Amino acid sequence: MERDQIMPHEMSMKGQTCLITGATNGIGHATALALADKGATVIIVSRNEAKCAQTVESIKGITCNQAIEYMVADLSSQSSIRQLAVRYKSKYDKLDVLINNAGMIFLNHQETVDGIEMTWGLNHLGYFLLTYLLLDTIKASAPARIISVASSAHQPSSILFEDIEYKHRRYNGLGAYAQSKLANIMFTYALARRLEGSGVTANSLHPGAVATGFAANNGVLAKNIGRPLMNVFSISATKGAMTSVYLASAPEVATVTGKYFDKQKPVSSNQFSYDEDAQEKLWDLSLQMTGLAVLA
């Protein structure tokens, strides 16, 4: 990515510390680049150390911002997330913007190292656990913002509490993905309620259909034919990052919380997402599935 591909910016983010997951590729990468260009200290997270190091060097080179660092973590592994939170807190004493972005679709059934269905484990529990563990630091940094990248793919979904992990039904990768993205939105609504009056906002978003590496992990056909074909009809990663960057930096949304955004505007998510009982049930289940229930 070249410097002239970064979105134009008016707002300086100097002095702000931002953590972005899944920032070695696609939307996360473009988001990190834009925030770095605004002068923020940016910490990127992904699984692959070489890709992290290369991404950091590239962002530093393009933006001339030297305050870019990485932390390696597998966000589908709860112990790896716990280690990440400990390492983060030992190194930084504040976090102004957390962007939960690392997410994938798995067309074939897989499990995390914790034995949880992979889509649920990475896309929802990954967001939930990292946010929960960093919440004290984020609150102490208020005003602060928590942003979760969801998707309009949540629209046809509900949370099937009786069988979230597809243990009693045939696995359906698209269904599992839609459910996990709905969970991102409902988690955000429940989180925003808990954060009322704290100076910390929580919002989720749909980035658009974006040309990235998304879904390319699903075999040779997906990687070499499906993904390149989809990319032809998709917006660029820079454009796909716009709503994330807007929510992270724009003064007009500094106090807006508990919303779902598309194209930098609050929009409605599906009807199921507004069921507060279901949001609370999801919160309790997430505490249980991450081993946090005993502490809560």
Enumerate binding residues for ligand NAP (CB under 6 A).
Answer: 22-28, 46-48, 51, 73-76, 101-104, 122, 149, 151, 206-207, 209-210, 212-214, 234
Task: Give the shortest CB-30-to-ligand NAP separation in angstroms.
Answer: 8
Is the Cβ of residue 214 or residue 260 nearer to ligand NAP in the bound state?
Answer: 214
Choice between 176 and 192, CB closer to ligand NAP: 176
At closest approach, how far in Å is the CB of 97 from ligand NAP? 16
Could you please report the per-residue DSSP string of 158-180?
---GGGTT-SSS---HHHHHHHH
What's the CA gap between 144 and 158, in Å, rounded? 30
- For ligand NAP, the closer of residues 114 and 139 by Cβ is 114
Q: Is 88 in the active site?
A: no
- Taking the least distance from each CB to ligand NAP, the nearer of 86 and 140 is 86
The distance of closest approach from Cβ of residue 243 to ligand NAP in the complex, given in angstroms and rounded to an integer, is 10
Selected catalytic residue, list 88, 177, 246, 260 = 177
Please say which residue, 41 or 180, places its beta carbon nearer to ligand NAP: 180
User: To the nearest whole angstrom, how small is the minimum distance from the Cβ of residue 69 to ligand NAP?
Assistant: 15
The least distance separating ligand NAP from the CB of residue 197, rounded to whole angstroms, comes to 29
**Residues known to be catalytic:** 177
